């Protein structure tokens, strides 16, 4: 096996600080030497408990020092980490336990008043569940003496290391299988693309149980930086942490990034240490607005959209911070690593698109999931006959890569023209009363797709639907103006470790009902 995660991180200066965990009681620094030794202790503990290569360990932890230590122990010994979101409850965890069948569950002794024992008992039902190991929130090494009784055999061949829960907008999660080499390839490349240098501090506010949070942390460690972990995300605390510790890189969903910026005290600006910000678009705000908000925070700060998924890992494609502004506004761009391959395929003809052509983004290579754990039908459906992963994303072929447009089911064909719903969402969000907007299509007989928007207003704001439609009509072609703009409907979401994603499938189901009463045409 070429250098794996453990080998790459073991090579860092043992005295350099690898982690800073920002507890409410104060910062907990962990040096690289301490982190590596803790990983060896965890590997020995797994051996002492009889775990072998391929056995699953469910990791039900917040962002604490033990999390990356256990991930590195898995890289060392060959056990497979199954992350559990601490916000999950019995139904979700029960599904995970039945599907992945972990041999060990690791959870905190106490965290945010979560009833771990009660949730686990309800999730397991009448059946047994794996043994549970309880940890304090501080310390990277296992607090139990039984690790001294085991001797871990160091993994010498590439093998699965994570089962990552999909964070899609429909149904129960599947668990994408990823090999250690995939994470080593992608996230070492991410560290280079993000310009993370040895000694740089990187805020890791996203949960490690999601591929964005885990990927940012591994990219930092392989680059010799310091990962600043937040056990509980608080926007105001995150802003103060950036200022206090001179953080150089902050990445995440636009909802997280904008929350941090909104919470910044005016006296904190400019943040001269903050250099880069890669974000995913989830709020409906235009990428241009997000980049403007970010880059106003510091003179040398550059922001860009990134593209990725649980199945293909975070940061499949994205521009470097030096790229022109217009390219940084687009999701995607050049691939981050040379091992990943892509094609854009016309959904009707099945032919690869030429530059400028649109179609489904399909991916292949060692960085792409091997399939879904214990789910042959889903795995078979996810790949083409010639082995390419179907992302379900509509994209455009570019000269240097591809650009994401929308989910295949989200794209609209209005009056015969293909329209990206984010264009309409961004236009709505320009209105001062609108905080968030999401647009879906509803089918109308003899007409096809009709746009319906769901908007969440800013606190205290009040605006008439007709006024919002007139506002959109002043900026977009008339055929793009939503037939209805709904403001009295709670926008349904799926909460995942990577972001809070809107359930557009539910919005599509209810949109037709709102078309029954259509306001006067503009």
Contacting residues for 220 by C-beta, under 8 A, at least 6 apart: 191, 196, 200, 202, 204, 226, 227, 249
- Full residue range of the structural domain in which residue 349 is found: 5-238+340-398
Q: Are residues 350 and 494 in the same domain?
A: no
Q: Provide the CA 333 distance to its chain's centre, in angstroms.
A: 18
Q: Are residues 164 and 18 in the same domain?
A: yes
Residue 487 within any structural domain of the chain: yes
Q: Are residues 378 and 439 in the same domain?
A: no
Residue 33 within any structural domain of the chain: yes
What pTM was computed for the model?
Answer: 0.83
Q: Which positions of the chain have pLDDT values less than 50?
A: 168-170, 520-522
Query: In the prediction, which pLDDT does 522 show?
Result: 44
Residue 465 within any structural domain of the chain: yes
- 21, 30, 32: which is closest to 61 by C-alpha? 21
What number of other Cβ atoms are within 10 A of residue 264's Cβ? 18
Residue 260 within any structural domain of the chain: no
For the record, the structure tokens of 489 come out as 């409907």
Over residues 253-288, the pLDDT tens digits come to 898 999 999 999 899 999 999 999 999 887 778 899
Q: Is the dihedral of CA 404, 408, 412, 417 positive or negative?
A: positive
DSSP code, position 61: -
Domain boundary among 398, 422, 441: 398
Q: Are residues 352 and 454 in the same domain?
A: no
Q: Are residues 464 and 366 in the same domain?
A: no
Q: Are residues 350 and 488 in the same domain?
A: no
Query: In the prediction, which pLDDT does 82 show?
Result: 98
* 431-458 exposure pattern, b = at least 16 Cβ within 10 A, e = fewer: bebbbbbbbbbbeeeeeebbbbbbbbbe
Residue 505 within any structural domain of the chain: yes
Q: Are residues 18 and 139 in the same domain?
A: yes
- 491, 495, 356, 478: which is closest to 427 by C-alpha? 478
> Do the Cβ atoms of 71 and 187 come closer than 8 Å?
no
Residue 348 within any structural domain of the chain: yes
Q: What is the CATH number of the domain that holds 77?
A: 3.40.50.12780
Over residues 206-217, the pLDDT tens digits come to 999 999 999 999
The domain tally of the chain equals 2
Residue 181 within any structural domain of the chain: yes
Q: Are residues 39 and 184 in the same domain?
A: yes
Query: In the prediction, which pLDDT does 137 show?
Result: 97
Q: Are residues 363 and 493 in the same domain?
A: no
Q: Are residues 15 and 53 in the same domain?
A: yes
DSSP code, position 351: P
Largest CA distance in the chain: 76
Residue 472 within any structural domain of the chain: yes
> Do the Cβ atoms of 20 and 229 come closer than 8 Å?
yes
């Amino acid at each position: 096996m070429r250098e794996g995660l453990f080998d790459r991180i073991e090579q860092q200066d043992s005295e350099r600080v690898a982690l800073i965990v920002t507890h409410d009681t104060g910062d907990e620094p962990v040096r690289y030497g301490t982190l590596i030794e803790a990983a060896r202790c965890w590997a020995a503990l797994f051996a002492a408990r009889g775990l072998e290569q391929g056995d699953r360990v469910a990791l039900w932890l917040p962002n604490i020092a033990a999390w990356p230590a256990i991930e590195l122990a898995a890289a060392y010994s060959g056990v497979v980490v199954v992350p559990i979101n601490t916000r999950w409850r019995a139904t979700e965890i029960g599904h995970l336990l039945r599907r992945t069948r972990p041999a060990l569950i690791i959870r905190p002794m106490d965290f945010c008043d979560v009833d771990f024992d009660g949730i686990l008992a309800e999730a397991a039902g009448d059946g047994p569940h794996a043994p549970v190991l309880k940890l304090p929130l501080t310390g990277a090494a296992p607090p139990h003496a039984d690790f001294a009784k085991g001797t871990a055999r160091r993994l010498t061949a590439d093998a699965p290391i994570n089962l990552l829960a999909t964070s899609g907008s429909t149904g129960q999660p599947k668990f994408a299988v990823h090999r250690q080499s995939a994470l080593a390839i992608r996230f070492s490349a991410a560290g280079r693309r993000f310009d993370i240098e040895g000694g740089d501090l990187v805020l890791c506010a996203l949960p490690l149980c999601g591929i964005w949070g885990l990927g940012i942390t591994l990219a930092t460690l392989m680059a010799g930086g310091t990962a600043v972990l937040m056990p509980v995300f608080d926007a105001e605390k995150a802003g103060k942490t950036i200022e206090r510790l001179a953080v150089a890189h902050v990445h995440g969903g636009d909802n997280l990034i904008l929350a941090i910026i909104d919470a910044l005290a005016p006296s904190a600006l400019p943040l001269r240490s903050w250099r880069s910000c890669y974000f995913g678009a989830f709020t409906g705000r235009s990428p241009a607005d997000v980049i403007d908000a970010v880059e106003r925070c510091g003179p040398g700060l550059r922001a860009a959209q990134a593209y990725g998924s649980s199945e293909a890992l975070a940061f499949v494609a994205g521009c470097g911070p030096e790229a022109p502004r217009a390219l940084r506004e687009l999701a995607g761009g050049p691939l981050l690593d040379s091992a990943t391959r892509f094609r854009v395929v016309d959904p009707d003809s099945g032919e690869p698109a030429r530059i400028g052509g649109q179609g489904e983004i399909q991916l292949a290579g060692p960085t792409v999931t091997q399939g879904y754990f214990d789910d042959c039908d889903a795995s078979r459906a996810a790949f083409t006959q010639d082995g390419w992963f179907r992302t379900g994303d509509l994209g455009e072929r570019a000269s240097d890569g591809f650009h994401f447009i929308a989910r295949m089911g989200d794209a609209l064909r209005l009056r015969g023209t293909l329209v990206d719903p984010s264009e309409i969402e961004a236009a709505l969000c320009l209105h001062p009363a609108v905080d968030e907007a999401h647009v879906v299509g509803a089918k109308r007989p003899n007409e096809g797709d009709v746009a319906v928007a769901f908007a969440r207003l800013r606190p205290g704001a009040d605006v008439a639907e007709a006024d919002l439609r007139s506002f959109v009509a002043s900026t977009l072609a008339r055929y793009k103006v939503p037939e209805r703009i709904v403001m009295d409907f709670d926008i349904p979401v799926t909460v995942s470790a990577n972001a809070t994603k809107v359930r557009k499938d539910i919005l599509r189901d209810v949109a037709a009902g709102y078309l029954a009463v259509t306001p006067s045409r503009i």
